[in-house]
Structure 1
């Protein structure tokens, strides 16, 4: 075991050195200075004009794909997965785990820490002050968020709070006023979207506590329990001031009380917590709703720090993470290392030209693509598997939070270029989960080992096929293929050849695409019979096309059509999920020529698709046409390339980059969705984006920047770097006039992945009017 741990640590060091070498190709600025974590940090449904809200990102400190995120929390429950929304004027604390950009009822938000002074309060209270608690107003003018750092000042306590992180650990630094009763308190039960159901705390010595918090569906969380998360967060925490005057509060929660989202913020529940017994003579305690506090006098401007190691394995893992990353370092050094980790990670892409705002939008988007899938293993390589047992990953990093239905479209095609090791890790993580759980199929939305069942389709199959086709193959592909086939059999279109209601169109189109992806993998593996079978299944989209309506239409199990609504294609939820037929019906990426023929041919489809975009509102907020706030349409702008009208792909991607992304809190028109919304921007703004993951074809479009350099990982690709140069690029010159690839004229509106990874130079010459002759071959 000891030798294995040493090997894992050595492998991580080598990987870091390789990454540094790779990034050094393009990094000559402090790229992290362009990151604005406030972009998208709002759940505000009012500003969004829909219940889905805006970006739902968090502004707190994290490292690239890190396990720990130390972030301010303004709200506990509901569809507020990040725990923070910028328009709120009070904070209830600083948590050490957060989700990024998700809809549905959130999860994590564990180990909530709040500094305070004066009388001890045991509940956070309400922002409107209808219920008083330890919640504090904070000065928005003092709020600072950077890559790896956050700070603000709490008005009610006159305390400055700063946070920074290491991959498995976090640090809070508090600057207190002069006060005889200063305090740091920790709500061990707190959880976004519910509560942890059991907690344990133990005082180890005069500076240190350790323990755990169990979170399961009975306590709500992901999907208010429907997401089936069942995990334990372990902590090892050290204060810089001695633990002398301390207490543990314990609420007696009745066994028959519901402990989900709505209940834990109700008045009866809060009243029960407010009446908690406070124990000052216990060194350790297990309970249903515990909190811990330590009190001390402070001088004016006295700094007190709290360092915390986090693990999802055990307390020993939390301690090892703590000792490896933060034990012997001060706050400022940890902050410097966090920033350096972001400079290194962001160095995979360098852009020139564009405005300062555009660079901020770009690098913040790239930053947001590097939150998940986060590491799920400790520094010693251990992780909890799908069987609930402890495993050791010797040749990959175990990762978690795979928002499959979102991220197969842009996030993972981006990562195949800039971070193939991450893609390899994620596939190993999904494969081992399928094996360890005994399920032997891929989950579509994995979180902390849970098969949450969120959304639809079989997106892991897309990620697998796309990666294998591109040479990312560090996993057992035969096992992966078997699980892919099992997934299709379990969730596919079946004997009917289509999926009946509900969501008939959404399911059928998604399943047809993922079956086509299996076919591509089967062909590469020499499984010719399977290839033929799954290619045919990939044509299932034809079985829900109504020639009378000339569009896709949901069917019942007996084959009859579901009654056509008055709104026609514009009726939301008619055969679709979170969309209408006009939006969902374009999703046939695996057979675009067949779709065009079925819809009436090139001219008819081009007119219809043009209308689809022309009807889109200028503000790009939730709408019935090109609804960029939701993923089903994310591949649609690139269809113009297939319709021999590439100038319209160029026009509309530049329009979307300009209107749907801004350098502001409201800078994402929809949920960030775990990196997908930002990955779309990163790719489109560089001038390339796939129209069909699982193919090596990347569509060429109009870059936002005049020069883009992709640093390529030498372990996977030999090209060094891939460069795009857009001559005479400007907000007016958005149309490609001609192109040169490696010194030769290039008249295609797409580029192959092999040309990208060979280290090609693609030169685009831009103008203010469309060149209708270029790129139509």
Structure 2
């Protein structure tokens, strides 16, 4: 009987979850980047760190397989792992720090009840299960897998605030669904509550504080409560809770909960049958039943960060019945609608898969965190209802200001408004007068460096995206650069941070404030911050002909033996070579310091030529890390646009693949993928806050951007590449709306106006097109 069940379930994977042919969602491969493996990456940062589970565009819920708790595994999943510990309803994507979320972990089991998951090294212990790898399927809005240990097929799909799971069981007298309420990717929730509402329903919450590790292993100040409302399609005739006795004062951060001692504590948790209500430090819930072969048992859950009532409303509004296939179909429709904002023609099937998966990954965050009725939990831990915007969270600022947010200004300007409103109101609610650089569920995490929210606001304002309190946004921008900046010295000294990286990043965001001040008619502010934008000069060492770290007294620190290739010398996760190109607001000034355009062009080409072919983490052009993402486009500013065309085509070819290892570094919450979407379509900014978009060699014959009528005058903007091929990577000539166009850049206003940019391609560089200023 069991063997027949396994064969039947395995065969069903050939047809279940399939999408209609030719839909955009059909090109999405959620396994691209779904690995945290440091061995494959060759560096401690790992690979893409994406998740393969089911979600919807910018949805609050992600129903996702989890293979590991703890470690530097922010997505909770890594493809090479051979067992699964359960399926969670919240997840982070592509983050480079110790992760968070991974809450409400559901697992279908049979036989003995285990109260702990066990570990990868010994999957037979605990409730985790090995899985039939060939059965694992992930598409946009759907995930399924066959669990070997329990002979159960697990399927899941999602709505924006809720999700539904369908488990196909074998014949068994002791089948079960169990839910680990304490589970959290980067540690543990510190307090949980569960209540049986009726014969089919439970509700409760999980409180996650820094005491339980989480974001940055508590350094990210992750502090949130997840509320749930869950219904089963089978009556709760046999149920209970388990409760581990966690001693007072027990360390509950990441390293502690990974330890054998802590795992032993939860493995001997008290099992309490028929308990209808319980609060505790480490709880789980289970419901048992007998099943016949191929019997399907379903569970659906609404999630809220506001209240249990909010979770109930979310579920009832989105999944009122038990139509799993209907929810899946709606999820696919949401993805097709979202992905249709950019359509490409031409290219290979793999290229289209990479493109639409990249676009998909840009549509995970910043996610909606308000309930269906609009309420959200504010920075003061009170419910709020926003006026005219949707509350969003997970602003990976230092990463996404470069490509992800500029992409959204074209395809989703309302999202940019939402994010600015979310950050500005958060400052008010928390009683802070500055903008957070890496926001996570209302936490000012302080992660990374610079003032990226200032860049996002300056870019939005310059592009006419202004549906927020402009005065507050400007004032908080000023306060941010005053709180975090180069100060009176005009540079950031060693001992006060990463001197080169901070000095350059602060100079840029000072310029961003200057750009806003000029547009707002604030002349004195413009002069002040424009001057401060030139602070990069203050750490230029003429002798070394590069940026160098100064101490507090203004003296140069020791120059490393490996010179500007020395990782971490004055830099965050980079070296001076990589960070030193970051003067986006004054490329001409940087070129002058270096010794002129020709010398800068030669130096950049030397760096690209030294870069390994696979573009994995390296000391030269390190696409795996954000500080270099504007570098390939600098050639446009220096009179050599053919080099921009050459190298962007090389990067799109070498750094992005249709494979699990298809991202050379962390996805970084949409940034890595947004770079590809823009560059592969033929445009990308150097300097957010400046409306100039660089033109480069498209990977596709045609890309059509669908514009938002509330923000743009036009309906679409098209970039067409005539005679495009793998060899014809160089732009020979261009026409904009039928007229000859000789510039290697285009203004955002021309994009928003709608139109048609046609590029004629060829196999050799044109030394005449695009060199006119």
- Place the TM-score, normalised by the shorter chain, in its bin: over 0.9
Counterpart in 2 of 1:491?
484
Counterpart in 2 of 1:303?
296
Q: How does 1:311-390 map to 2 (within 5 A)?
A: 311-390=304-383
1:556 aligns with 2:568: no
Count of aligned pairs = 751
Question: 645, 650, 653: which is aligned to 1:655?
Answer: 650
In the alignment, structure 1 segments of 5+ residues that lack a partner are 1-26
Counterpart in 2 of 1:262?
255
Q: How does 1:176-575 map to 2 (within 5 A)?
A: 176-501=169-494, 502-575=497-570
Counterpart in 2 of 1:744?
739
Is the contact between residue 168 and residue 378 of structure 1 (CA under 8 Å) also seen in structure 2? yes
CA distance in 2, matches of 1:34, 1:640: 33
Specify the SS of the correspondent of 2:585. Answer: helix
User: Can you list the C-alpha shifts for 1:334-373, whole angstroms capped at 9, x where unaligned?
Assistant: 0000000000000101100000000000000000000000
Question: 702, 718, 723: which is aligned to 1:723?
Answer: 718
Specify the SS of the correspondent of 2:601. Answer: helix
Question: 41, 48, 54: which is aligned to 1:61?
Answer: 54
Counterpart in 1 of 2:573?
578
CA distance in 1, matches of 2:730, 2:601: 18
Is the contact between residue 31 and residue 363 of structure 1 (CA under 8 Å) also seen in structure 2? yes
Is the contact between residue 381 and residue 394 of structure 1 (CA under 8 Å) also seen in structure 2? no
CA distance in 2, matches of 1:63, 1:612: 40
Is the contact between residue 632 and residue 644 of structure 2 (CA under 8 Å) also seen in structure 1? yes
Is the contact between residue 320 and residue 379 of structure 1 (CA under 8 Å) also seen in structure 2? yes
Structure 1 length as normaliser, TM-score?
0.96
User: Can you list the C-alpha shifts for 1:652-702, whole angstroms capped at 9, x where unaligned?
Assistant: 000000000000000000000000000000000000000111011000000
Report the CA distance between 1:289 and its aligned residue: 0.2
1:48 aligns with 2:7: no
Counterpart in 2 of 1:22?
none
User: Can you list the C-alpha shifts for 1:528-547, whole angstroms capped at 9, x where unaligned?
Assistant: 10000000010011111111
1:591 aligns with 2:586: yes
Counterpart in 2 of 1:82?
75
Report the CA distance between 1:239 and its aligned residue: 0.6
User: Can you list the C-alpha shifts for 1:687-724, whole angstroms capped at 9, x where unaligned?
Assistant: 00001110110000000000111010111111110011
Specify the SS of the correspondent of 2:770. Answer: coil
User: Can you list the C-alpha shifts for 1:191-249, whole angstroms capped at 9, x where unaligned?
Assistant: 00100000000000110000000001000000000000110000000011011111100
Report the CA distance between 1:101 and its aligned residue: 0.2
Report the CA distance between 1:328 and its aligned residue: 2.4
Report the CA distance between 1:394 and its aligned residue: 2.9
Counterpart in 2 of 1:129?
122
Specify the SS of the correspondent of 1:611. Answer: helix
Is the contact between residue 241 and residue 286 of structure 2 (CA under 8 Å) also seen in structure 1? yes
Report the CA distance between 1:48 and its aligned residue: 0.5
Specify the SS of the correspondent of 1:496. Answer: coil
Report the CA distance between 1:131 and its aligned residue: 7.2
Report the CA distance between 1:29 and its aligned residue: 4.8
Is the contact between residue 240 and residue 276 of structure 2 (CA under 8 Å) also seen in structure 1? no
Structure 2 length as normaliser, TM-score?
0.96
User: Can you list the C-alpha shifts for 1:366-420, whole angstroms capped at 9, x where unaligned?
Assistant: 0000000000100111111111111011310000000000000000110000000
Specify the SS of the correspondent of 2:333. Answer: helix
User: Can you list the C-alpha shifts for 1:98-119, whole angstroms capped at 9, x where unaligned?
Assistant: 0000011000000000001011
Specify the SS of the correspondent of 2:299. Answer: strand
Specify the SS of the correspondent of 1:204. Answer: strand
CA distance in 2, matches of 1:708, 1:281: 59
Structure 1 residue ranges, 4+ long, deviating more than 6 angstroms after superposition: none
Report the CA distance between 1:774 and its aligned residue: 1.0
Report the CA distance between 1:621 and its aligned residue: 0.2
Question: 132, 140, 155: which is aligned to 1:139?
Answer: 132
Is the contact between residue 493 and residue 508 of structure 1 (CA under 8 Å) also seen in structure 2? yes
Is the contact between residue 238 and residue 274 of structure 2 (CA under 8 Å) also seen in structure 1? no
Counterpart in 1 of 2:625?
630
CA distance in 2, matches of 1:135, 1:166: 26
